[in-house]
Amino acid sequence: MSVGAYDIRVINDLVERESAFVERLMTEVHKVIVGQDEMIERVFMGLLCHGHVLLEGAPGLAKTLTVSTLARCLHMEFKRVQFTPDLLPSDVLGTVIYNHQTGSFTNRKGPVFTNLLLADEINRAPAKVQSALLEAMAERQVTIGDTSYPLPKPFLVLATQNPIEQEGTYTLPEAQLDRFMFKIKVGYPTAEQELQIMQRIGGAPTAAKIEVQPVIGPDDIAKVQQTMDRMIVEQPVQKYIVDVVAATRTPGAVGLEKLAPFIDFGASPRATIALFQAARAHAFMRHRGYVSPEDIKAVAPDILRHRIILSYEAEAEGKTVEEVVRAILEHVQVP
């Protein structure tokens, strides 16, 4: 499918207008958060793509603060649930309450009924709680008693997990990890950024008290999502997305026979869809109405790192998922 120059120009102009808020949004978030540009961008991209985000990083890297600040800038409701081993599904989803005075039952909605839900340390809750939340993520609705309630729009789950502390945790199974659109590895700030953090927040009671202005709201997000549906992803670029994901299953097809023993399972078709959507969001954030292979390369590591299962041989040789994805992106032919 080829697209005329006029169509590209029209879509570009539309995207340029609709994405004008991006810099203002980042400016407001950075009143509170120092650095962490990629984490902020990916969380917002997840919101645009109806995709949930898993944040992995050591404690104290502003994961919770980033989500709460973004919620204030987007004029959305934000709730946080601290996942613990004694948490029950009803603590997240809601429950049925019996009223002794009236002799009737009423449904009480849980914290999942919000726009942005932070599932803090999701791997500390048992599998029953994880499954209940992930079902809500997939179905966008929750059943309490005999009644099903739709979740607010937009709805985004941001889950965190600590990679360095495994005692007392319940590892998310691969099938559940696949439900997350992005897996973001949150790193430490640079020395300059850490100095700014100390100077800005060191003497303040809490960073959450720093004033930020709402930039856009839920209705604006819905409009942006409609604009993204009109963005141009030409046929060769679509094939490139499919080829990248297929190479995680059969690396020999792109000349990476040596990589095959290191991969037990490649990414599912859900990864193809996620890569397509994320590439559009990446282009939108850069005020472009069309997707290029560079957009795909930029988001592929965050889309694929939790969807590729490495073999014991890979672990024995110290191979990482990041190295596998990098090799695939270097060898798959770019249109």
Q: At 144, which amino acid appears?
A: I
Residue 249 has pLDDT above 60, yes or no: yes
Quote the CA–CA distance of 74 and 24 in Å, as a whole number.
11
Of the chain, the percentage scoring pLDDT greater than 90 comes to 18
At a CB cut-off of 8 Å and minimum separation 6, what does 280 contact?
A: 49, 228, 231, 233, 291, 295
Q: Which residues of 245-268 are buried (b: 16+ CB within 10 A; e: fewer)?
A: bbbbeebeebebeebeebbeebbb
Per DSSP, the residues of 273-317 read HHHHHHHHHHHHHTT-SB--HHHHHHHHHHHHTTTPEEPHHHHHT
Average pLDDT over residues 208-221: 80
* pLDDT cut 70: percent of the chain above it: 93
Q: What is the pLDDT of residue 207?
A: 54
The pLDDT of residue 283: 93
For range 72-84, the mean pLDDT:
88
SS3 content of the chain, % helix, strand, coil (to 5): 50, 15, 35
21-73 pLDDT tens trace: 889 999 888 888 888 888 889 999 998 998 899 998 877 777 888 888 888 88
The CA-atom distances, in angstroms, between 293 and each of 38, 234, 302 are 19, 11, 15
pLDDT bracket for residue 278 (50, 70, 90): very high
* CA dist., res. 215 & res. 72, Å (int): 9
pLDDT at residue 167 greater than cutoff 70: no
Strand-pair partners of 4: none
Average pLDDT over the chain reads 85
For 85-99, 125-139, 197-211, which range has the lowest pLDDT when averaged over its residues?
A: 197-211
Residue 1 confidence class, pLDDT cut points 50, 70, 90: very low
Q: Give the pLDDT confidence score for residue 203 in this predicted structure.
A: 59
**CA nearest neighbour of 182 among 42, 67, 282:** 42
> Range with the lowest mean pLDDT among 58-62, 125-129, 143-147, 202-206?
202-206
At 53 the pLDDT is 92
Q: Which residue has the higher pLDDT, 98 or 114?
A: 114
Looking from the CA of 12 toward its CB, the CA atoms found within 13 Å total: 10
Better pLDDT: 282 or 315? 282
Which pair of structure tokens corresponds to residue 274? 């996620």
Least confident of 83-92, 207-216, 300-309: 207-216
The mean pLDDT value for 314-319 works out to: 85
Asked whether the predicted pLDDT for residue 157 surpasses 80, the reply is yes
Q: Greater confidence, 295 or 129?
A: 295
Contact 110, 74 (CB under 8 A): no
Q: What is the dihedral of CA 216, 187, 52, 124, to 10 degrees?
A: -130
Give the residue carrying structure tokens 């613990």. Answer: 84
All domains of the chain in start order, with CATH? 22-215 (3.40.50.300), 225-331 (1.10.8.80)
**DSSP E strand stretches across 138-289:** 141-144, 147-150, 156-161, 180-185, 263-265
Instruction: Quote the CA–CA distance of 322 and 332 in Å, as a whole number.
Output: 16
β-pairing, 141-144 with 147-150?
antiparallel
Q: What's the pLDDT score for residue 276?
A: 95
Query: Is the pLDDT reported for residue 257 higher than 90?
Result: no
Task: Kindly state the average pLDDT of the residues 101-108.
Answer: 76
Give residue 202's pLDDT. Answer: 63
Cα of 223 vs its chain's centroid, Å: 20
Mean pLDDT (whole number) for 296-309: 92
How far apart are alpha carbons 48 and 277 in whole angstroms?
A: 9
Concatenate the DSSP letters of all residues of 91-152 into one string: HHHEEEEEETTTTEEEEEE-TTSSSEEEEETGGGS-HHHHHHHHHHHHHSEEEETTEEEEPP
> Which residue, chain included where needed, has tokens 């026979």?
257
pLDDT score of 245: 93
Task: State the pLDDT at residue 261.
Answer: 86
pLDDT of residue 168: 58
Cα–Cα distance between 330 and 325 in angstroms, integer? 9
Q: Which of 289, 204, 240 is nearest to 14 (CA)?
A: 289
